[in-house]
């Protein structure tokens, strides 16, 4: 109890404060050792307090941190007392947050807005991490600053010496105080402690920082950063030798430029010309049998960096106003059906993009614009003639996001506007919308000591285009206005515009004890359309949701931590059709031996699916129960493991699903990390949508069949770190999925409650059995040969095969997959950072 009492006394002394010492003479020598004279005279931050495992207790090992500064840089020196033979120090590539290691993090709220902070971290082997904390706790790991750090180990533990150029931070020169915190991680204890204490039940994070004082008189640095790059690549792919557009080995080269300029000390202009994303990891494989597109993760650095300032998530299944994978995506058009050969572009070229972002005096701003070029696909016609057709128009994408904080960051009002314009004139692409706009406002207010929050938003959308484009929008997968059983929906083929809206209101308890809860409602009008720059799957919904959770963060006789959470959601269309009743109960824990696990039980009620018949009437879908279990061993070990399993059972129709996903993580040396994640998934669907047709009587019919699908994959990752600045990463995933259809039926009564009354047998000569085999891999050798300048050597492989057979045979399918000729891309990319 003595340790806890001393920590509590430190907290009772008031908010933490540390004075930065201005350097009057030479700067410390960057060698990781704190034996330079300025360190001895600087004020020291001590008294770290645990957040976990023993919340509120003094840290198990002492830590001391000092801060010095000049007009050009901030220096941080830290001593982490420990037994030298107990220090965990794994080598890894920069920004690998999953590395098992001890760490020290420096957290700087240089705007002093209680909402955002720059975080720079290092482990004892000089592996660097940097990221941004946003919205009082959310993490944006895609900020890459140019800064230096050195470490050293001695008989007392380890030390770290940071040099952080002020040009890498946004701040107001008039402010003499910044928010400040330090975090230390002791890996073998899974202990996390902070200089400015942050209890596990605290409603905020950055807002609980201490203060770094004495910074008055800092000058605003003028900074211009240029990063020109050059790329050379060779693509080797299989093809038809008679295709005039085909080359077995196709070399190419390009150049581009990334630019960053400080408009003020708080706002930055970032721009890119002809960006290249060849080093980005491949998207995972899948077979999508649903009526909706798959959302893919954004991995391209330009769009990921500062993305937090542009986020406007609608919550639940409502989508997001910003889905930057729309920029530079696959062209929408195609060559004519009578083309013999064609050269269809895989992606739309991004000619250039720019954004302005920053925070100052409680205001945050993000403004982005991107321009993609017109894409044309050349093709040949019978007789040997060659022509070309536009498959994507010249398009501009624009977004402005603004937010104003009040009450020390506890309240905020914001707005967003997006605009997409397409140059369709003369392209023949009039089936696309010519323009799309969204505009919205949002806000939040914390009360009750910051432990409760009220939030909400209202967004409107509008799209314009030809009659064909707006008709396609009305009948598309997100709307289905043509449904014959929905009197509240109506297709109007004369429209050249469509408008809609979405709104949300939520209140909840977000901190201050073990219990949290939420209660809210959301509505999406039928005409809402945000897919030109955002992401949505369905509209025409009104929903209510509620949840409550309990977190035990103090260790007990068996558990280090455990938590329970319950959630409920109900949805209806505007025509009062019940579309979802969902219940969830989730529990998680960590034992004192560092094993962990979780269990989730989900229940879906029988409901109507307006989308299942792809424009037909709403179809009753049977209720189902799902169970997911996960157990993981001690992740501190050199060999660690986890296994997850999920299964579900439909109430009727003998349908079920089962998945087993084990994983193995290996750290055979301080330089090498290997993870293997095999998976097997069985899906037995009693009625899977096949097609629709018109019978002899002119009646539209809908065909379904029983589906037996087996999917297996192996996700492998390897990371070998030669030095903190030279590393090799590998990602590979063989993927096989086969499906066999049987017992074809047609919809007899889409509203019938019983499965047997809903369908009747149907004779069909052919069914679309499938066997999809794919292997994608990505190997990247990354060398930061000087600060901010990088050499990439990349090898990408993509093998794909499809057969109209549903028989699954792992040995045969694997042999055929790896016996096929795939597409291989060898790429060399060199960038050079210039700071002016």
* pLDDT over threshold 60, residue 3: no
Question: Among 109-113, 326-330, 396-400, which stretch is predicted with the lowest mean pLDDT?
Answer: 109-113
pLDDT digit string, tens, across residues 467-479: 999 999 999 989 9
Q: What is the DSSP string of 62-87?
A: -EEEEEEE-SSEEEEEEEEE--GGG-
pLDDT at 383: 77
In a domain, 434, yes or no: no
- Tens-digit pLDDT profile for residues 448-474: 989 999 999 999 999 999 999 999 999
Q: Annotate 444-462 with b (16+ C-beta within 10 A) or e (fewer).
A: bbbeeebbbbebbbebbbb
Count of CB atoms situated within 10 Å of the CB of 557 = 5
Please enumerate in sequence order all residues whose Cβ is within 8 A of that of 576, keeping only pairs 6 or more positions apart, or say none.
none
What tens digit of pLDDT does each residue of 492-522 get? 999 999 999 999 999 999 999 999 999 999 9
- What is the predicted pLDDT for the residue at 283? 67
Q: What is the pLDDT of residue 11?
A: 41
Please list the residues that pair with 832 across neighbouring strands. none
772's tokens: 């999809």
pLDDT band, very low/low/confident/very high, at 280 (cuts 50, 70, 90)? low
Distance CA 517, CA 511 (A): 9
Helix locations, 143-189, DSSP H:
none
Residue of higher predicted confidence among 114 and 527 = 527
pLDDT at 279: 57
Instruction: Supply the pTM of this predicted model.
Output: 0.86
Phi, psi (rounded to 5 degrees) for 449: 70, 20
161 Cβ contact list (under 8 Å, min separation 6): 28, 30, 31, 32, 33, 34, 75, 76, 77, 78, 149, 150, 151
Split at pLDDT 50, 70, 90, the class of 9 is very low
Residue 429 has pLDDT above 70, yes or no: yes
| Mean pLDDT in residue range 611-621 | 94
Percent of the chain scoring above 70 in pLDDT:
97
Mean pLDDT over 773-782 rounds to 94
Helix (H, G, I), strand (E, B) or coil at 413: strand
Residues 6+ apart with CB under 8 A from 692: 613, 614, 615, 616, 700, 701, 702, 703
State the pLDDT at residue 282: 62
Q: Where residue 175 falls among pLDDT bands split at 50, 70, 90?
A: confident
Average pLDDT value for residue range 392-396: 97
**829 falls within a domain:** no
The CATH number assigned to the domain holding 102 equals 2.60.40.1190
The Cα 109–Cα 169 span in angstroms is: 10
The pLDDT of residue 777 is: 94
Domain presence at residue 63 = yes
Number of independent structural domains in the chain: 1
Average pLDDT over residues 73-78: 96
Q: Is 600 helix (H, G, I), strand (E, B) or coil?
A: strand
18 within a domain of the structure (yes/no): yes
Tokens of 796: 């990408």
- Which residue did the predictor score with more confidence, 173 or 50? 50
3-state secondary structure of 814: helix
88 lies in a domain?
Answer: yes
Considering the domain boundaries, does residue 675 fall inside one?
no
Q: Is 541 exposed, middle or buried (0-12, 13-18, 19+ CB in 10 A)?
A: buried
Residue 53: alpha-carbon gap to chain centroid = 28
- The tens digit of pLDDT for each residue in 660-677 reads 999 999 999 999 999 999
pLDDT band at 5 (very low <50, low <70, confident <90, very high): very low
What is the pLDDT of the chain when averaged over all its residues?
91
User: How confident is the model at residue 183, as a pLDDT?
Assistant: 98
Please enumerate in sequence order all residues whose Cβ is within 8 A of that of 518, keeping only pairs 6 or more positions apart, or say none.
Answer: 506, 507, 508, 509, 545, 546, 547, 548
- Rounded to an integer, the average pLDDT of 224-240 is 90
The answer to whether position 291 is within a domain reads no
* Average pLDDT of the residues in 407-436: 94
pLDDT at residue number 14: 64
**The predicted structure's pLDDT at residue 24:** 84
- The residue segments making up the domain with residue 193 are 2-213
Give the pLDDT mean for 304-332: 86
What pLDDT does residue 653 have?
82
């Amino acid at each position: 109890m003595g340790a806890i009492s001393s920590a509590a006394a430190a907290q009772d002394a008031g908010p933490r404060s540390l004075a930065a010492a201005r350097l009057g003479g030479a700067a410390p020598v960057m060698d990781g050792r704190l034996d330079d004279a300025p360190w001895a005279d600087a004020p020291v931050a001590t008294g770290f307090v645990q957040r976990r495992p023993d919340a509120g207790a003094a840290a198990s090992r002492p830590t001391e941190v000092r801060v010095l500064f000049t007009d050009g840089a901030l220096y941080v020196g830290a001593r982490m007392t420990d037994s030298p033979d107990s220090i965990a120090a794994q080598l890894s590539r920069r920004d690998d947050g999953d590395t098992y290691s001890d760490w020290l993090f420096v957290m700087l709220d240089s705007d002093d807005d209680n909402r955002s902070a720059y975080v720079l971290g290092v482990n004892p082997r000089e592996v660097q991490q940097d990221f941004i904390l946003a919205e009082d706790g959310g993490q944006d790991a895609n900020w890459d600053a140019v800064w230096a750090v050195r470490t050293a180990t001695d008989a007392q533990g380890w030390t770290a010496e940071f040099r952080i150029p002020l040009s890498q931070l946004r701040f107001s020169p008039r402010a003499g105080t910044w928010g400040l915190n330090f975090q230390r991680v002791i890996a073998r204890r899974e202990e996390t402690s902070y200089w400015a204490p942050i209890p596990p039940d605290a409603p905020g994070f950055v807002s609980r920082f201490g203060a770094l004082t004495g910074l008055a008189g800092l000058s605003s640095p003028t900074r211009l950063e240029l990063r020109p790059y050059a790329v050379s690549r060779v693509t080797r792919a299989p093809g038809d030798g008679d295709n005039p557009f085909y080359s077995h080995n196709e070399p190419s080269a390009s150049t581009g430029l990334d630019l960053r300029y400080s408009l003020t000390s708080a706002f930055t202009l970032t721009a890119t010309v002809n960006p290249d994303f060849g080093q980005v990891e491949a998207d995972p494989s899948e077979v999508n049998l649903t009526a909706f597109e798959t959302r893919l993760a954004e991995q391209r650095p330009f769009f990921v960096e500062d993305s937090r300032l542009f986020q406007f998530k609608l919550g639940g299944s409502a989508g997001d106003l910003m889905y930057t994978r729309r920029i530079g995506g696959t062209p929408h058009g195609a060559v004519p059906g009578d083309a013999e050969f064609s050269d269809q572009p895989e992606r739309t070229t991004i000619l250039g993009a720019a954004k302005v972002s920053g925070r100052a005096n409680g205001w945050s701003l993000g403004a982005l614009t991107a321009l993609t070029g017109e894409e044309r696909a050349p093709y040949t016609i019978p007789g040997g003639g060659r022509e070309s057709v536009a498959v994507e128009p010249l398009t501009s994408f624009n977004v402005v996001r603004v937010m104003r904080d009040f009450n020390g960051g506890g309240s905020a009002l914001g707005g967003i506007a997006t605009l997409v314009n397409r140059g369709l004139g003369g392209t023949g692409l009039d089936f696309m919308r010519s323009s799309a706009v969204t505009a919205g406002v949002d806000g939040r207010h914390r009360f009750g000591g910051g432990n409760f929050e009220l939030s909400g938003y209202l967004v409107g959308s509008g799209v314009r285009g030809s009659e064909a484009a707006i008709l396609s929008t009305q009948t598309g997968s997100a709307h289905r206005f043509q449904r014959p059983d929905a009197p509240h929906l109506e297709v109007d083929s004369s429209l050249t515009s469509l408008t809609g809206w979405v709104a949300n209101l939520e209140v909840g308890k977000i901190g201050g004890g073990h219990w949290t809860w939420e209660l809210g409602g959301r509505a999406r009008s039928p005409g809402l359309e945000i897919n030109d720059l955002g992401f949505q799957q369905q509209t025409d919904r009104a929903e209510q949701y509620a949840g409550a959770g309990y977190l035990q963060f103090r260790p007990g006789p068996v558990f280090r931590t455990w938590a329970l959470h319950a959630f409920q959601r109900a949805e209806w269309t505007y025509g009062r059709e019940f579309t979802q009743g969902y219940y969830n109960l989730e529990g998680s824990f960590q034992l004192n031996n560092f094993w962990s696990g979780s269990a989730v039980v989900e229940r879906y009620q029988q409901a109507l699916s307006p989308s299942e018949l792809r424009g037909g009437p709403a179809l009753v879908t049977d209720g189902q129960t799902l169970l997911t279990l996960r157990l993981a061993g001690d992740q501190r070990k050199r060999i660690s493991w986890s296994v997850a399993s999920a299964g579900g059972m439909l109430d009727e129709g003998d349908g079920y699903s089962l998945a087993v996903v084990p994983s193995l993580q290996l750290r055979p040396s301080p330089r090498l990390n290997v993870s293997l994640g095999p998976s097997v998934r069985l899906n037995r669907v009693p009625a899977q949508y096949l097609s629709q047709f018109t019978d002899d009587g002119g009646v539209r019919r809908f065909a379904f069949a029983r589906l037996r699908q087996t999917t297996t994959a192996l996700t492998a990752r390897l990371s070998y770190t030669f030095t903190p600045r030279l590393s090799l990463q590998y990602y590979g995933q063989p993927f096989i999925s086969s499906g066999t259809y049987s017992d074809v039926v047609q919809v007899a009564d889409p509203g019938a409650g019983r499965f047997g009354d809903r369908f009747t047998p149907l004779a069909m000569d052919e069914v679309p059995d499938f066997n999809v085999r794919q292997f994608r891999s990505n190997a990247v050798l990354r060398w930061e040969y000087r600060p901010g300048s990088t050499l990439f050597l990349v090898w990408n492989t993509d093998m794909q095969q499809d057969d109209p057979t549903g028989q699954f045979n792992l040995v045969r399918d694997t042999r055929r997959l790896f016996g096929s000729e795939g597409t291989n891309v060898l790429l060399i990319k060199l960038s050079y950072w210039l700071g002016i």
